[in-house]
Amino acid sequence: MRIASITALGAAGLLAAGGLLVTLRAQGTPRKPPIPHEDLPAPSGAETSPVVGGSDKGSVPTALRSGDAIIPKPSVDAPLDKSKGEPVLGTKDFGADRQTSLKPDDNTGPDSTLHYVSVFNPDVLPFKRMSSLDAVADDYTLKIGRPALTELPVGGVTDPKTRDWFYGNMVIELSPNTDVPIPSVAPDMRILSYDVKPKIRLTFEKDGADNFYVRTDESSASGQYRLIIYVDADAGYFAPSLPTKAKYTPRIVATMTPPELRPIMSDAIKSAGRTTLDKLGITPDQPLGDAFNKLVGYFRAFEAKPLPANATGDLYRDLCDSQAGVCRHRAFSFMITANALGIPTRYIQNEAHAFIEVWLPERRWQRVDLGGAALRMDVSNAEDKKLHNPRAEDPFAKPPEYSQQYTQLEGDIRGLSQKQIADRKKPNATPSGSLGAGPGPGSGSGAGTGGPDRITPDPSLPTVTQDPAKHTPRLEVTTADSAAFRGDVVHVEGRVVANGTPIPDHPVDVFLAPAGRRGANPIPLGRAVSDATGRFAQEFTVPGSLNLATYEIYLASPEDAYYNAALSD
């Protein structure tokens, strides 16, 4: 069915469609008499917003973009669901504990089953940060070297070129003036906004190792609260690489390290680390790339096996000499060795995995996984979540002992669908927070390009198979601008229903197609998401290169776990 006509115009020209005349001018241009036939280029310098749909200032947006996916805001009204393994932070529930100190063990054989609880969407599985330890005692106990807390501001301007976006969804047990540990996705995670129910004023903090906390100072606070946080983090943290602007050595890195980030460990521990460096032939004056890559390759080649019968009893020494151990042994021994070399390194752990963070000039903190070994990993609370895609692959040495294991989503992994795993392994060419290159008019922009999970109205493409066990949505345009200028925006409203019932939080792709061609040669405008009533209302940027013609509006939505793919009439 022909929904509405859009004419892509220059600075002048109108088309009456449905009897309504609407003039939309190029973004940023003054309102003045138009010059006939002048083509206006698309606006430059505007970035596509990570936010989809509307949100009041300071509130959590209704949906966000991650690569080519739309992620709806979690419901702050949802009750605690123990059946999904959801923990209560601030209690002794599994997945809720923060380790403030840790004594490494000598159980270096393979782990049996790892249990991981998903908190974020996109999910950084299995790299949720729950405990960050940055100091080493003489008995090898790891601890937080600088436990003093610093209050964190809420809010800030985010940048899709350098930041990735996430929702956090957790239940917390609060009491007045008590700091409750909460997980994070990265050490520089920023709380852009939050919702909490019951309503209460919260304060967010972190310590010197970038462990995060939340507390309330309200005297009436007591009990369990559902907390939704909207956060961003440095995209480079998830895609580690070495600095490139200068020729660095480990010694130069050590010299450039800020005082508050320098390793906290005794000369005796540093001496033990230098013994390993001597064995590996790594010196402080080697090119940083040579030294670091050799270091990563060595610890990634650890194997899950018993310590040798002639072990010395010095756990660090025995682990390094035998290359025995799983994720926690690799991360512990790497931390000591890299710190002895002069590269600031921290040990990071959650209930299922341990990895390390290294600080480098230009790059700041970088997440580096050393792998592990387990017979199985069970993931809970991850149904229908997207797995986070770093913007670049890890460039460091990957020996066979590293490549075929759970951090690479290989092996026996339960609680994730094959589609989730397959999507995680796809290259992430589009930054988080953006549907593609293309300007948008600000928050709520629908600018973007097509992606692999989309269908289009083009009749020359194969028909999408319908699953009889799923409902098929009906997509309708309820109103739209009848005319538009190239490089400006067009307003489109619509609704999504199935069997007469509104579908909330459902992604809808919006296309223009030349009139009278039944959807052939469609031009993607972007993606919207339906609200609680199944409706959406959004502005989309009209490409500046679009031919002057009359167009029809089409809607499409991808298949998901509950609904078939759909296309408007």
pLDDT tens-place string over residues 272-327: 999 999 999 999 999 999 999 999 999 999 999 999 999 999 999 999 999 999 99
Which pLDDT band holds residue 57 (cuts at 50, 70, 90)? low
| Residue 519, CA atoms < 13 Å, CB-side half-sphere | 17
In a domain, 342, yes or no: yes
In a shared domain, residues 288 and 368 = yes
User: In terms of pLDDT, which residue wins out, 95 or 45?
Assistant: 95
In a shared domain, residues 505 and 565 = yes
Which pLDDT band holds residue 20 (cuts at 50, 70, 90)? very low
In a domain, 456, yes or no: yes
Instruction: Average the pLDDT over 10-18 and give the result.
Output: 27
In a shared domain, residues 468 and 418 = no
In a domain, 81, yes or no: no
In a domain, 53, yes or no: no
Tell me: the pLDDT tens digits for 370-415? Answer: 999 988 999 999 988 999 999 998 999 999 889 888 888 888 999 9
In a domain, 557, yes or no: yes
In a shared domain, residues 409 and 483 = no
Q: Which of 523, 357, 375 is closest to 449 using CA atoms?
A: 523
In a shared domain, residues 128 and 267 = yes
Q: Which of 209, 235, 261 is the last residue of a domain?
A: 235
CATH number of 417's domain: 3.10.620
Mean predicted lDDT score pLDDT of the chain: 83
pLDDT at 4: 39
In a shared domain, residues 497 and 559 = yes
Tell me: the pLDDT tens digits for 153-166? Answer: 999 888 888 999 99
In a shared domain, residues 333 and 270 = yes
What does the alpha-carbon distance between residue 506 and residue 364 come to, in Å, rounded to a whole number? Answer: 37
- Percentage of the chain with pLDDT > 90? 56
Given a contact cutoff of 8 angstroms between Cβ atoms, the answer to whether 41 and 544 are in contact is: yes
Which pLDDT band holds residue 488 (cuts at 50, 70, 90)? confident
Which pLDDT band holds residue 539 (cuts at 50, 70, 90)? confident
* pLDDT at residue 47 is higher than 70: no
* pLDDT at residue 90 is higher than 80: yes
Given a contact cutoff of 8 angstroms between Cβ atoms, the answer to whether 327 and 126 are in contact is: no
What does each C-alpha distance from 232 to 47, 167, 493, 549, 568 come to in angstroms? 16, 9, 29, 41, 34
Show the domain range for 514: 1-48+435-569
Q: What is the count of structural domains for the chain? A: 3
Q: Which of 250, 246, 276 is closest to 263 using CA atoms?
A: 250
What does the alpha-carbon distance between residue 91 and residue 101 come to, in Å, rounded to a whole number? Answer: 18
In a domain, 57, yes or no: no
pLDDT at 541: 80
pLDDT at 299: 98
Q: Which of 205, 235, 265 is the last residue of a domain?
A: 235
Instruction: Average the pLDDT over 526-543 and give the result.
Output: 86
Which pLDDT band holds residue 36 (cuts at 50, 70, 90)? very low
Which pLDDT band holds residue 462 (cuts at 50, 70, 90)? low
* pLDDT at residue 438 is higher than 80: no
In a domain, 95, yes or no: no
In a shared domain, residues 348 and 477 = no
* Tokens, residue 519: 């959807």
Q: Which of 446, 459, 475, 461 is closest to 564 using CA atoms?
A: 475
pLDDT at 387: 94
In a domain, 128, yes or no: yes
In a shared domain, residues 318 and 404 = yes
Which pLDDT band holds residue 151 (cuts at 50, 70, 90)? very high
Contacts for 550 with CB less than 8 Å, ≥ 6 apart:
5, 6, 7, 15, 17, 514, 515
Output DSSP code: residue 391.
S
Instruction: For tokens 């509130």, name the residue.
Output: 59
Q: Which of 409, 378, 367 is closest to 235 using CA atoms?
A: 367
In a shared domain, residues 488 and 339 = no
pLDDT at 53: 52
Taking CB atoms within 8 Å and a gap of at least 24, the contacts of 381-385 are: 381/81, 381/84, 381/85, 381/86, 381/117, 381/118, 381/119, 382/118, 382/123, 382/125, 382/415, 382/416, 382/420, 383/84, 383/561, 384/560, 384/561, 385/118, 385/121, 385/122, 385/123, 385/420
In a shared domain, residues 549 and 528 = yes
Tell me: the pLDDT tens digits for 223-255? Answer: 999 999 999 999 999 999 999 888 999 999 999
In a shared domain, residues 160 and 137 = no
User: In terms of pLDDT, which residue wins out, 499 or 2?
Assistant: 499
Q: Which of 218, 235, 252 is the last residue of a domain?
A: 235
pLDDT at 68: 73
* Tokens, residue 385: 């979540």
Q: Which of 539, 564, 568, 538 is closest to 556 using CA atoms?
A: 568
